[in-house]
Amino acid sequence: MDISTGFISSLLAIVFIDLVLAGDNAIVIGMAARNLPKHLQKKAIFWGTFGAIGIRAISTVVVVWLLRIPALMIVGGLLLVWIAYNLMTEKKEHTNIAAPSSLRAAIQTIVIADGVMGLDNVMGVAGVAHGNITLVIIGMLITVPIIVWGSTMFIRLIERFPIIIYIGGAILAWTAGRMITGDPLLKTYFTPILALAVDIIVVAAVMGAAIMKKRQHA
């Protein structure tokens, strides 16, 4: 395996995206397991997280493969623009997450809810990977232990330093630009300089729109 600067930078981007978007995972786990007896909560958290991450890994590999089809990179890039914008502007509510009183039901709730809510994570990682399954696997091996044991701590870190969300949004927007300009249908029309300019414009537009919306709410 050729460890290049591009490989390392993509791996770091995948790890950062995983961590920034791991907050939902921690919240879903906590809410789904909250009605269980204390001695069952750890089991629900472990097996629920194990199942959720397994489904997320399979979904990411499938999306990585699908993005090789012409035009789907454009669609994926546009979807990632929306995900980046929502990451920086939306305050997500999780009050509708059920809290079952049985271990099996709690595990099912964690797996299903995380699968439904994990589209942003899957799209972000698949976009950065650019078809490299090795990147996806290594990224998950690094971030899975952090998501299982440290995601709650990372949520508190984000609350203390909100700029982390904006960095994550910028990485997702940059990835979106790369996906759009790198699609087989459009690639021949973009020189490296023009593609870079489009990437910068996409990041600036998403960041600008998010900051404006934040100011309106404030």
Percentage of residues in the chain having pLDDT higher than 90: 11
pLDDT, tens only, 128-185: 887 788 888 888 777 776 666 665 566 677 778 888 888 888 988 998 998 899 888 8
Q: Does the pLDDT at position 201 exceed 90?
A: yes
Domain boundaries, the chain: 5-80+89-161
Lowest mean pLDDT among 57-61, 78-82, 94-98, 100-104: 94-98
What is the full DSSP assignment across 137-196? HHHHHHHHHHHHHHHHHHHHHHHH-THHHHHHHHHHHHHHHHHHHHSTTTGGG--HHHHH
Output the CA torsion sign for 180, 181, 184, 189: positive
pLDDT at site 1? 46
Q: Please give the residue that has the higher pLDDT: either 193 or 83.
A: 193
pTM over 0.85: no
Q: What angle do CA 62, 121, 138 make, to 5 degrees?
A: 70
pLDDT, tens only, 92-138: 555 555 566 778 887 777 777 666 666 777 888 888 887 788 888 88
- How far is 42 from 176, CA to CA, in rounded Å? 37
Q: Does the pLDDT at position 40 exceed 50?
A: yes
Confidence grade of residue 25 (pLDDT, cut at 50, 70, 90): low
pLDDT at site 38? 77
Residue 119 phi, psi dihedral angles, 5° rounding: -60, -40
Mean pLDDT of 189-197: 92
Among the listed residues 142, 144, 147, 129, the one whose alpha carbon sits nearest the alpha carbon of residue 61: 129
Structure tokens at 127: 């976009």
